[in-house]
């Protein structure tokens, strides 16, 4: 009897390969089941229990905010095998408290845009983060000096160093890679970190860094000089050297009634001598309809919708009525909170500044509290919050009292992409000087 040894070897090889494939399949199925069981009690699409790819796709499409709202309007939503997001304001406030055992998750790491150097947002070591915030907070409080400095980059009328272009490109990549822990870690490793900005770059943030180092370095070399600008305040606090207007204009120009009411208020205030030129933020805060427009603009299209994942501490926690195991990543659903029909009413998708007027104090406070979700709370609150309101209080009156705006293409007024922060392109308007 003879045997075909070649055929026998071939069959053995196939059987061996099938064993390997079967083993891999068993591992994949087992891992998927464990992932599903971990957060199976939390509402959200079934696929999100075993993979973050669906959530990743929403970021690649630039529309995670609207897609998440389609999944469910419950206060807690599952977006990955180990990730949930909540629109419950009280929950986020508790997580962000000074004595909270929660800590920053790996989501923050891709936002480190200088190799091996953290800033306040990307810093995940809690003691270091708290200490650094305490030193730089004074520089973001919206002083009179900051009011004058806020418009300095408008003088030349162009994108200095290509910084704005770099900003849009960077946040698109960072917000997407932050969704998957593996991508988040890889973004800071060789060879990918080689793409991060450097002071030797001819444009973008790198060139901006070089210019900043030269200016700041000279100030630190001279020592404190009494100036109360950002650098002066940082030096005073011991910081070492290393250490949403467009959307509102869009909605205003799309809403002739609100536009007309605001212009009437601004014109009357100017005629009565209540507004100087340039407008001071303190003056703008006295105009009730303007303040309603500012707040409604930030509600209908918040300055950002960062997920800002925090990690559930050892022992687990109850979050928005659901028990979560330790290590679960809990993020903020800003869009869901600001478009919640149960809180804002059935017209939550409409730009209606009047919703902020003539309210009981308790209702007004709860609305402001919800609006502030986009800035975070407690030890994680965005330091730039006062500057956002100052910018809107100064920019909107100046623009709208001087010029008339008409959208070029009402059918498709702009391209808006969500990269944790909204990036707007193609918002073309016809601008004419008001008579």
The 83-86 sheet, strands edge to edge? 76-80, 83-86, 329-332, 310-311, 103-104
Lowest mean pLDDT among 12-26, 129-143, 347-361: 12-26
pLDDT tens string 34-91: 766 889 899 988 888 888 888 888 888 888 877 777 776 788 999 989 999 999 999 9
Whether 220 has a pLDDT exceeding 90, the answer reads no
Q: How far apart are CA 316 and CA 337, in angstroms?
A: 24
Counting residues of the chain whose pLDDT is more than 70, the rounded percentage is 78
Most confident of 183-187, 303-307, 336-340, 425-429: 336-340
Counting residues of the chain whose pLDDT is more than 90, the rounded percentage is 35
Binding-site residue set: 382
The counts of H helices and E strands in the chain are 18, 11
**Pair 403, 434: CB distance under 8 Å:** yes
pLDDT at position 31 is 66
The confidence band for 195, taking pLDDT boundaries of 50, 70 and 90, is confident
Binding-site residue set for heme: 382
**Pair 302, 251: CB distance under 8 Å:** no
Q: Mind listing the domains of the chain with CATH numbers?
A: 41-433 (1.10.630.10)
**Token pair of 369 as six digits:** 């509290």
**Token pair of 384 as six digits:** 């730039």
- Per the model's pLDDT, the better-predicted residue between 148 and 311 turns out to be 311
Q: How far apart are CA 176 and CA 53, in angstroms?
A: 11
Strands 310-311 and 415-418: unpaired
Is the preceding omega at residue 191 within 30 degrees of 0, hence cis? Answer: yes
Q: Which of 352, 330, 337 is nearest to 302 (CA)?
A: 337
Is the preceding omega at residue 278 within 30 degrees of 0, hence cis? Answer: yes
Q: How far apart are CA 3 and CA 222, in angstroms?
A: 90
Name the phi and psi angles at 387, rounded to 5.
-70, -30
pLDDT tens string 354-393: 999 999 999 999 999 999 999 999 999 988 888 889 889 9
Whether 151 has a pLDDT exceeding 50, the answer reads no
pLDDT at position 143 is 54
pLDDT tens string 116-141: 778 788 888 888 888 888 877 766 66
Name every residue whose Cβ is closer than 8 Å to that of residue 54 and which is 6 or more positions away in sequence.
Answer: 45, 47, 48
């Amino acid at each position: 009897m003879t045997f075909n040894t070649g055929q026998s070897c071939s069959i053995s090889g196939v059987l061996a390969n099938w064993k390997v494939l079967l083993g891999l399949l068993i591992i994949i199925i087992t891992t998927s089941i464990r992932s599903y069981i971990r957060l199976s009690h939390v509402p959200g699409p079934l696929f999100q229990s075993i993979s973050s790819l669906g959530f990743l796709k929403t970021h690649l499409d630039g529309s995670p905010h609207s897609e998440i709202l389609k999944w469910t309007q419950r206060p807690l939503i599952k977006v990955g095998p180990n990730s949930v997001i909540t629109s419950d304001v009280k929950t986020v406030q508790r997580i962000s408290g000074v004595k909270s055992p929660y800590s920053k998750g790996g989501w923050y790491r891709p936002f480190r845009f200088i190799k091996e150097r953290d800033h306040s947002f990307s810093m995940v070591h809690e003691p270091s983060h708290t200490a650094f915030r305490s030193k730089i907070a004074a520089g973001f409080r919206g002083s009179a000096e900051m009011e004058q400095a806020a418009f300095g980059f408008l003088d030349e009328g162009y994108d200095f160093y290509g910084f704005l272009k770099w900003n849009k490109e960077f946040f698109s990549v960072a917000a997407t890679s932050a969704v998957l822990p593996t991508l988040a870690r890889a973004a800071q490793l060789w060879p990918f970190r080689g793409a991060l900005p450097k002071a030797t770059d001819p444009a973008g943030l790198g060139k901006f860094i070089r210019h900043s180092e030269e200016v700041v370095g000279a100030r630190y070399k001279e020592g404190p000089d009494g100036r109360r600008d950002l650098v002066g305040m940082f030096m005073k606090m011991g910081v070492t050297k290393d250490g949403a207007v467009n959307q509102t204009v869009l909605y205003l120009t799309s809403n002739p009634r609100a536009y007309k009411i605001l212009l009437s208020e601004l014109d009357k205030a100017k005629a009565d001598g209540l507004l100087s030129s340039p407008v001071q933020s303190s003056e703008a805060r006295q105009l009730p309809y303007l303040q309603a427009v500012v707040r409604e603009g930030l509600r209908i299209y918040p300055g950002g919708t960062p997920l800002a994942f925090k990690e559930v501490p050892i022992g687990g926690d109850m979050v928005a009525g659901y028990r979560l195991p330790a290590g679960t990543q809990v993020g903020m659903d800003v869009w869901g909170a600001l478009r919640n029909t149960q809180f804002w009413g059935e017209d939550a998708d409409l730009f209606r500044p009047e919703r902020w007027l003539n309210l009981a104090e308790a209702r007004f406070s709860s609305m402001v509290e919800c609006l502030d979700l986009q800035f975070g709370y407690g030890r994680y609150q965005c330091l730039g919050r006062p500057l956002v309101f100052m910018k809107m209080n100064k920019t909107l009156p100046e623009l709208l009292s001087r010029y008339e705006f008409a959208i070029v293409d009402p059918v498709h007024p702009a391209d808006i992409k969500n990269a944790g922060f909204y990036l707007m392109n193609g918002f073309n308007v016809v601008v004419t000087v008001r008579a």
